[in-house]
Amino acid sequence: MQLGACMAVVRPRVVGIIASLLTIACGVFYRMPQLSPGLFETQTEGDGESGAANGERIYFTATNADGEWIRYSGGPGFGGMMMGSYLTCAACHGPEGRGGTHTMHMQVMYAPDIRYVALSGEAGEPGDQPADEHGGVHGEYSLDDFRLAVVEGEHRDGQPLSRDMPRWKLSDKDLVDLFEFLKSLPEN
């Protein structure tokens, strides 16, 4: 009976330790970008590399082609999803960049459509889509406009973007690549 009593005390502790280790391991692996082999491989076009592949990686994982995390400041009060995960563009703007209204952690936020066609106002006549908070159709949307929004957190007219928009700390190359990826998103 002594062995049975000892096992009754040891077994819950062992189970607790194993459960704790599994929880920690899941948290560590959850934070790592989940990449499919070849999904973000650099594509070549003629004599140079396509930045859209790196831009896609940044959009979905907040890491660049070198595997470096893209840091940010500000953003939604909940700072990402559960278990300390890292915020990505796709978390708010969706897999196709169409944005929308989201409820996360009991907070409601609106993320705009960031496909290039929507940013540049080429999506149709002003009445075909909801006007943005600064006058609707944008016209040509440049890399400088994109930098102002993504890095500085401002509209072209100098008005600040929503506090929900993180201020990303991107290198010039990563910013160009992300912009190229948004240009590649489907118009419809």
Residues 71-92: tens digit of each pLDDT: 998 887 655 444 456 789 998 8
147 belongs to a structural domain: yes
> Per-residue confidence at 188, pLDDT binned at 50, 70, 90?
confident
- Does one domain contain both 159 and 133? yes
Residue 145 has pLDDT above 60, yes or no: yes
Which among 78, 86, 85 is positioned nearest to 103, based on CA atoms?
Answer: 78
Q: What is the pLDDT of residues 33-74, one digit of tens each?
A: 444 334 444 443 333 345 899 999 999 999 999 999 999 988
What is the per-residue pLDDT for 187?
85
**Residues of the domain holding 22:** 1-31
- Does one domain contain both 16 and 86? no
107 belongs to a structural domain: yes
Distances (CA, A) of 160 to 10, 57, 114, 149: 58, 27, 16, 9
Which among 96, 112, 95, 115 is positioned nearest to 183, based on CA atoms?
Answer: 115
Q: Which residue has the tokens 């995960």?
A: 85
Buried b (16+ CB within 10 A) or exposed e, 3-39: eeeeeeeeeeeeeeeeeeeeeeeeeeeeeeeeeeeee
38 belongs to a structural domain: no
The single-letter code of the amino acid at 115 is R
- Does one domain contain both 51 and 2? no
Please tell me the distance from the alpha carbon of residue 85 to that of residue 161, in angstroms, as a whole number: 23
63 beta partners: 69
Residue 86: DSSP 8-state: P
- CB count within 10 Å of CB 90 equals 16
The encoded tokens of residue 141 equal 């949307």
- Does one domain contain both 11 and 85? no
Radius of gyration of the chain (CA): 22
**Number of domains composing the chain:** 2
Whole-model pTM: value is 0.65
- Does one domain contain both 26 and 53? no
- Does one domain contain both 79 and 54? yes
- Does one domain contain both 75 and 23? no
Identify the weakest region by mean pLDDT among 7-16, 51-60, 90-99, 102-111. 7-16
In this structure, are strands 107-111 and 100-104 parallel, antiparallel, or unpaired?
A: antiparallel
Please tell me the distance from the alpha carbon of residue 111 to that of residue 166, in angstroms, as a whole number: 11
